[in-house]
Chain A
Amino acid sequence: MRFDKGGQLGKIISTFPVMLLIFLIIIVYLVLAGFAFGVKGEKVPVSIEKVNLDNLLLKEIEINGEKITVLDALIKFEKREIEKADIIKEVEKFENKEEYILLLAKGESQYPGNMLGGTGMNNIVIKFKDGEFSSPNSASHQSYFSNYRKAGLSKQISFDIKGINEKNRLYVEYYYGGVLK
Protein backbone atom coordinates (compact mmCIF):
# COMPACT_ATOMS: atom_id res chain seq x y z
CA MET A 1 0.00 0.00 0.00
CA ARG A 2 1.11 3.50 -0.72
CA PHE A 3 0.61 6.13 1.95
CA ASP A 4 0.36 9.83 1.18
CA LYS A 5 2.61 10.89 4.08
CA GLY A 6 2.32 14.57 3.17
CA GLY A 7 -1.50 14.35 3.29
CA GLN A 8 -1.45 12.56 6.65
CA LEU A 9 0.86 15.17 8.15
CA GLY A 10 -1.32 17.98 6.79
CA LYS A 11 -4.40 16.40 8.34
CA ILE A 12 -2.69 16.02 11.69
CA ILE A 13 -1.45 19.62 11.61
CA SER A 14 -4.88 21.02 10.69
CA THR A 15 -6.79 18.73 13.10
CA PHE A 16 -4.67 19.70 16.11
CA PRO A 17 -5.79 23.37 16.38
CA VAL A 18 -9.40 22.32 15.72
CA MET A 19 -9.27 19.77 18.54
CA LEU A 20 -7.56 22.33 20.75
CA LEU A 21 -10.37 24.82 20.11
CA ILE A 22 -13.02 22.18 20.75
CA PHE A 23 -11.39 21.32 24.08
CA LEU A 24 -11.14 25.01 24.90
CA ILE A 25 -14.87 25.45 24.23
CA ILE A 26 -15.69 22.38 26.33
CA ILE A 27 -13.62 23.83 29.19
CA VAL A 28 -15.34 27.24 28.87
CA TYR A 29 -18.74 25.50 28.82
CA LEU A 30 -17.92 23.39 31.87
CA VAL A 31 -16.64 26.42 33.79
CA LEU A 32 -19.79 28.44 32.97
CA ALA A 33 -22.05 25.47 33.75
CA GLY A 34 -20.16 25.01 37.02
CA PHE A 35 -20.83 28.65 37.93
CA ALA A 36 -24.49 28.28 36.98
CA PHE A 37 -24.93 25.27 39.27
CA GLY A 38 -22.82 26.93 41.92
CA VAL A 39 -25.26 29.85 42.24
CA LYS A 40 -27.81 28.47 44.66
CA GLY A 41 -31.04 30.06 45.77
CA GLU A 42 -31.46 31.46 49.25
CA LYS A 43 -31.95 28.73 51.80
CA VAL A 44 -35.06 29.04 53.92
CA PRO A 45 -34.34 27.95 57.47
CA VAL A 46 -36.48 24.87 58.03
CA SER A 47 -37.32 25.81 61.60
CA ILE A 48 -39.12 29.02 60.57
CA GLU A 49 -42.90 28.80 60.74
CA LYS A 50 -44.31 31.00 58.01
CA VAL A 51 -48.02 31.64 57.66
CA ASN A 52 -49.68 31.62 54.26
CA LEU A 53 -48.59 35.06 53.12
CA ASP A 54 -51.58 35.60 50.81
CA ASN A 55 -53.76 35.16 53.85
CA LEU A 56 -51.90 37.92 55.67
CA LEU A 57 -53.06 40.57 53.19
CA LEU A 58 -56.56 39.08 53.26
CA LYS A 59 -56.81 39.01 57.06
CA GLU A 60 -59.71 41.04 58.37
CA ILE A 61 -59.13 44.03 60.60
CA GLU A 62 -61.56 46.64 61.86
CA ILE A 63 -60.86 50.29 61.15
CA ASN A 64 -63.32 53.04 62.09
CA GLY A 65 -65.95 50.37 62.78
CA GLU A 66 -65.59 48.83 59.32
CA LYS A 67 -64.23 45.35 58.59
CA ILE A 68 -61.63 45.50 55.84
CA THR A 69 -58.69 43.41 54.66
CA VAL A 70 -55.10 44.35 55.51
CA LEU A 71 -54.58 45.08 51.79
CA ASP A 72 -57.53 47.49 51.69
CA ALA A 73 -56.15 49.17 54.81
CA LEU A 74 -52.75 49.64 53.13
CA ILE A 75 -54.40 51.11 50.03
CA LYS A 76 -56.42 53.51 52.20
CA PHE A 77 -53.23 54.37 54.09
CA GLU A 78 -51.48 55.15 50.78
CA LYS A 79 -54.48 57.31 49.84
CA ARG A 80 -54.14 59.01 53.25
CA GLU A 81 -57.67 58.05 54.23
CA ILE A 82 -56.46 56.31 57.40
CA GLU A 83 -53.40 56.60 59.64
CA LYS A 84 -50.56 54.17 60.26
CA ALA A 85 -51.59 54.03 63.92
CA ASP A 86 -55.03 52.68 62.88
CA ILE A 87 -53.37 49.71 61.16
CA ILE A 88 -50.84 49.09 63.95
CA LYS A 89 -53.60 49.03 66.57
CA GLU A 90 -55.33 46.25 64.64
CA VAL A 91 -52.38 44.11 63.55
CA GLU A 92 -51.19 44.02 67.13
CA LYS A 93 -54.27 41.89 67.80
CA PHE A 94 -53.01 39.14 65.51
CA GLU A 95 -52.49 35.74 67.01
CA ASN A 96 -49.58 36.19 69.35
CA LYS A 97 -47.50 33.09 68.87
CA GLU A 98 -44.37 32.21 70.81
CA GLU A 99 -41.98 34.42 68.84
CA TYR A 100 -43.36 35.99 65.68
CA ILE A 101 -42.60 39.04 63.61
CA LEU A 102 -44.76 41.08 61.26
CA LEU A 103 -43.29 43.21 58.47
CA LEU A 104 -45.48 45.45 56.32
CA ALA A 105 -44.27 48.05 53.84
CA LYS A 106 -45.97 49.82 50.97
CA GLY A 107 -44.75 52.26 48.34
CA GLU A 108 -44.73 53.19 44.68
CA SER A 109 -41.35 51.56 43.99
CA GLN A 110 -40.11 47.99 44.25
CA TYR A 111 -39.03 46.67 47.66
CA PRO A 112 -40.64 49.42 49.75
CA GLY A 113 -39.04 47.84 52.83
CA ASN A 114 -35.77 49.39 51.63
CA MET A 115 -37.08 52.91 52.10
CA LEU A 116 -35.33 55.08 54.63
CA GLY A 117 -36.04 58.40 56.29
CA GLY A 118 -39.50 59.96 56.16
CA THR A 119 -40.95 57.45 53.68
CA GLY A 120 -39.48 54.52 55.60
CA MET A 121 -41.27 55.77 58.70
CA ASN A 122 -44.50 54.46 57.14
CA ASN A 123 -43.26 50.87 57.30
CA ILE A 124 -44.50 48.60 60.06
CA VAL A 125 -42.38 46.14 62.05
CA ILE A 126 -43.93 44.44 65.07
CA LYS A 127 -42.28 41.75 67.16
CA PHE A 128 -44.52 39.39 69.12
CA LYS A 129 -43.19 37.40 72.04
CA ASP A 130 -44.93 35.53 74.87
CA GLY A 131 -48.19 37.43 74.52
CA GLU A 132 -46.53 40.84 74.27
CA PHE A 133 -45.51 42.95 71.31
CA SER A 134 -42.98 45.65 70.58
CA SER A 135 -41.88 47.71 67.63
CA PRO A 136 -38.16 48.25 67.02
CA ASN A 137 -36.84 51.74 66.27
CA SER A 138 -37.92 52.81 62.78
CA ALA A 139 -34.27 53.48 61.84
CA SER A 140 -33.67 49.70 61.92
CA HIS A 141 -36.78 48.71 59.93
CA GLN A 142 -34.86 48.60 56.65
CA SER A 143 -32.46 45.96 58.01
CA TYR A 144 -35.38 43.73 59.11
CA PHE A 145 -36.88 43.82 55.62
CA SER A 146 -33.47 43.22 54.08
CA ASN A 147 -32.74 40.18 56.28
CA TYR A 148 -36.10 38.48 55.67
CA ARG A 149 -35.85 39.22 51.93
CA LYS A 150 -32.35 37.71 51.75
CA ALA A 151 -33.60 34.62 53.58
CA GLY A 152 -36.35 34.26 50.96
CA LEU A 153 -39.05 34.58 53.60
CA SER A 154 -40.75 37.88 52.79
CA LYS A 155 -42.95 38.39 49.76
CA GLN A 156 -43.64 41.28 47.43
CA ILE A 157 -46.78 41.88 45.40
CA SER A 158 -47.75 44.83 43.24
CA PHE A 159 -51.08 46.30 42.17
CA ASP A 160 -52.12 48.74 39.46
CA ILE A 161 -54.42 51.23 41.10
CA LYS A 162 -55.45 54.35 39.22
CA GLY A 163 -54.88 57.61 41.06
CA ILE A 164 -53.18 56.07 44.08
CA ASN A 165 -49.85 57.80 43.46
CA GLU A 166 -47.80 59.26 40.61
CA LYS A 167 -47.02 55.80 39.17
CA ASN A 168 -50.54 54.40 39.69
CA ARG A 169 -48.82 51.39 41.24
CA LEU A 170 -48.58 50.08 44.75
CA TYR A 171 -45.89 47.64 45.88
CA VAL A 172 -46.43 45.77 49.12
CA GLU A 173 -43.62 43.90 50.85
CA TYR A 174 -44.64 41.74 53.79
CA TYR A 175 -43.92 38.87 56.13
CA TYR A 176 -45.66 37.33 59.10
CA GLY A 177 -44.16 34.30 60.77
CA GLY A 178 -41.38 32.96 62.95
CA VAL A 179 -38.41 35.11 63.86
CA LEU A 180 -35.24 34.67 61.84
CA LYS A 181 -32.32 33.82 64.13
Chain B
Amino acid sequence: MNKRGDTPTILLFVITLILVGIALFSFANFKGTFAGDSEGRSIMLSSVDFYEKYAVKESEIIGRKVIKNNGGKEEFQEIAKKKYLGIEGTEEFFARINSGDFKFEQEGENYIFEMKDLRVSASAGASFIRRNMEIKILFDKNGDVANS
Protein backbone atom coordinates (compact mmCIF):
# COMPACT_ATOMS: atom_id res chain seq x y z
CA MET B 1 0.00 0.00 0.00
CA ASN B 2 1.08 3.56 -0.67
CA LYS B 3 1.04 4.73 2.94
CA ARG B 4 2.57 8.16 2.21
CA GLY B 5 -0.19 8.81 -0.39
CA ASP B 6 -2.87 8.14 2.22
CA THR B 7 -1.54 10.62 4.77
CA PRO B 8 -2.96 13.79 3.08
CA THR B 9 -6.32 12.07 2.61
CA ILE B 10 -6.46 11.08 6.26
CA LEU B 11 -5.40 14.61 7.26
CA LEU B 12 -8.10 16.06 4.99
CA PHE B 13 -10.66 13.83 6.67
CA VAL B 14 -9.51 14.72 10.20
CA ILE B 15 -9.30 18.48 9.47
CA THR B 16 -12.75 18.40 7.86
CA LEU B 17 -14.16 16.67 10.92
CA ILE B 18 -12.58 19.33 13.16
CA LEU B 19 -13.98 22.13 10.98
CA VAL B 20 -17.37 20.47 10.98
CA GLY B 21 -17.25 20.32 14.79
CA ILE B 22 -16.19 23.98 15.07
CA ALA B 23 -18.89 25.12 12.62
CA LEU B 24 -21.63 23.19 14.42
CA PHE B 25 -20.38 24.42 17.80
CA SER B 26 -20.48 28.03 16.51
CA PHE B 27 -24.01 27.60 15.17
CA ALA B 28 -25.18 26.09 18.45
CA ASN B 29 -23.58 28.76 20.63
CA PHE B 30 -24.30 31.92 18.62
CA LYS B 31 -26.76 34.02 20.61
CA GLY B 32 -26.89 37.10 18.41
CA THR B 33 -24.52 39.07 20.64
CA PHE B 34 -23.37 41.17 17.66
CA ALA B 35 -26.91 42.47 17.33
CA GLY B 36 -27.00 43.11 21.08
CA ASP B 37 -23.77 45.16 20.97
CA SER B 38 -25.02 47.05 17.96
CA GLU B 39 -28.32 47.78 19.71
CA GLY B 40 -26.42 49.09 22.76
CA ARG B 41 -24.38 51.46 20.58
CA SER B 42 -27.48 52.57 18.74
CA ILE B 43 -29.27 53.35 22.04
CA MET B 44 -26.26 55.36 23.27
CA LEU B 45 -26.07 57.35 20.03
CA SER B 46 -29.77 58.15 20.08
CA SER B 47 -29.52 59.09 23.79
CA VAL B 48 -26.66 61.54 23.13
CA ASP B 49 -28.59 62.96 20.19
CA PHE B 50 -31.66 63.37 22.39
CA TYR B 51 -29.71 65.06 25.23
CA GLU B 52 -28.30 67.51 22.69
CA LYS B 53 -31.81 68.48 21.57
CA TYR B 54 -32.99 68.52 25.19
CA ALA B 55 -30.28 71.01 26.21
CA VAL B 56 -31.22 73.28 23.29
CA LYS B 57 -34.94 73.06 24.14
CA GLU B 58 -34.37 73.83 27.83
CA SER B 59 -32.22 76.84 26.85
CA GLU B 60 -35.04 78.10 24.60
CA ILE B 61 -37.71 77.71 27.32
CA ILE B 62 -35.56 79.38 30.00
CA GLY B 63 -34.36 82.15 27.66
CA ARG B 64 -37.91 83.02 26.60
CA LYS B 65 -39.07 83.26 30.21
CA VAL B 66 -36.10 85.43 31.21
CA ILE B 67 -36.67 87.83 28.30
CA LYS B 68 -40.39 88.13 29.10
CA ASN B 69 -39.46 88.96 32.72
CA ASN B 70 -36.86 91.50 31.51
CA GLY B 71 -34.31 89.48 33.44
CA GLY B 72 -30.69 88.69 32.82
CA LYS B 73 -28.07 86.02 33.32
CA GLU B 74 -28.76 85.64 37.04
CA GLU B 75 -32.43 84.92 36.48
CA PHE B 76 -31.43 82.43 33.78
CA GLN B 77 -29.34 80.62 36.41
CA GLU B 78 -32.15 80.66 38.98
CA ILE B 79 -34.71 79.19 36.58
CA ALA B 80 -32.26 76.54 35.33
CA LYS B 81 -31.55 75.47 38.90
CA LYS B 82 -35.25 74.77 39.44
CA LYS B 83 -35.57 72.98 36.11
CA TYR B 84 -32.81 70.45 36.69
CA LEU B 85 -34.48 67.08 37.18
CA GLY B 86 -31.35 64.94 37.56
CA ILE B 87 -31.15 63.31 34.12
CA GLU B 88 -27.69 61.75 33.82
CA GLY B 89 -25.93 62.98 30.69
CA THR B 90 -27.31 66.50 31.06
CA GLU B 91 -25.51 67.33 34.36
CA GLU B 92 -22.77 69.34 32.68
CA PHE B 93 -25.27 71.58 30.90
CA PHE B 94 -26.98 72.54 34.16
CA ALA B 95 -23.71 72.66 36.13
CA ARG B 96 -22.22 75.15 33.68
CA ILE B 97 -25.32 77.33 33.85
CA ASN B 98 -25.15 77.15 37.64
CA SER B 99 -21.50 78.26 37.61
CA GLY B 100 -22.22 81.03 35.09
CA ASP B 101 -20.11 79.44 32.35
CA PHE B 102 -22.33 80.63 29.47
CA LYS B 103 -23.28 83.81 27.64
CA PHE B 104 -26.71 85.43 27.83
CA GLU B 105 -26.63 89.01 26.61
CA GLN B 106 -28.74 91.58 24.87
CA GLU B 107 -27.42 92.56 21.46
CA GLY B 108 -29.43 95.42 20.04
CA GLU B 109 -33.06 94.34 20.17
CA ASN B 110 -32.17 90.66 20.31
CA TYR B 111 -30.78 88.40 22.99
CA ILE B 112 -28.14 85.77 22.51
CA PHE B 113 -27.52 82.59 24.49
CA GLU B 114 -24.24 80.78 23.90
CA MET B 115 -22.52 77.82 25.49
CA LYS B 116 -19.32 76.47 23.95
CA ASP B 117 -17.74 73.01 24.26
CA LEU B 118 -20.65 71.46 26.08
CA ARG B 119 -20.20 67.72 26.62
CA VAL B 120 -23.23 65.46 26.59
CA SER B 121 -22.74 61.78 27.34
CA ALA B 122 -24.48 58.42 27.45
CA SER B 123 -23.38 55.02 28.66
CA ALA B 124 -24.52 51.41 28.30
CA GLY B 125 -22.71 48.85 30.43
CA ALA B 126 -18.97 49.39 29.99
CA SER B 127 -19.42 51.52 26.83
CA PHE B 128 -19.50 55.27 26.99
CA ILE B 129 -20.09 58.01 24.40
CA ARG B 130 -19.38 61.70 24.85
CA ARG B 131 -20.11 64.40 22.30
CA ASN B 132 -18.91 67.98 22.29
CA MET B 133 -21.40 70.54 21.09
CA GLU B 134 -22.00 74.25 20.97
CA ILE B 135 -25.35 75.92 21.63
CA LYS B 136 -26.02 79.31 20.12
CA ILE B 137 -29.57 80.67 20.20
CA LEU B 138 -30.72 84.06 19.01
CA PHE B 139 -33.94 85.31 20.62
CA ASP B 140 -35.96 88.27 19.41
CA LYS B 141 -37.24 90.93 21.82
CA ASN B 142 -40.38 88.81 22.54
CA GLY B 143 -38.32 85.80 23.54
CA ASP B 144 -39.09 83.85 20.38
CA VAL B 145 -36.23 81.96 18.79
CA ALA B 146 -34.89 83.77 15.73
CA ASN B 147 -32.45 80.96 14.90
CA SER B 148 -30.36 78.34 16.71
Contact = CB atoms under 8 A, between A and B. Distances in A.
Contact of A162 (B5, B20, B54, B88): B88
A69 B90 CA distance: 15
A124 B85 CA distance: 22
A76 B86 contact: no
A125 B37 CA distance: 33
Contact of B27 (A17, A32, A164): A32
Given A60-B61, A69-B57, A161 B6 contact: no
Contact of A157 (B16, B46, B64, B83): B46
B23 interface: yes
B125 to A, nearest CB: 12
A19 B86 CA distance: 64
Interface string A16-30: 011001101100110
Nearest to B13: A18
B89 A21 contact: no
Contacts of A54: 49-50, 53
Nearest to B85: A75
A6 B1 contact: yes
Which size bracket describes the interface of B in this complex?
20 to 34
A34 B42 CA distance: 26
B29 interface: no
Contacts of B65: 67
A75 B87 contact: yes
A151 interface: no
B53 A161 contact: no
Main secondary structure of the interface of B (DSSP, over half): helix
A10 interface: yes
Contacts, number: 77
Contact of A160 (B2, B24, B87): B87
Interface of A: 4, 6-7, 10-11, 14-15, 17-18, 21-22, 24-25, 28-29, 32, 54, 57-58, 60, 67-69, 71-72, 75-76, 79, 157-164
Given A10-B6, A17-B13, 7 more contacts: A7-B6, A32-B27, A57-B50, A58-B53, A58-B57, A67-B65, A157-B50
B16 A58 contact: no
Contacts of A72: 83, 85
Given A7-B6, A58-B54, A161-B88, A14 B13 contact: yes
B61 A160 contact: no
Contacts of B27: 28, 32
A108 to B, nearest CB: 15
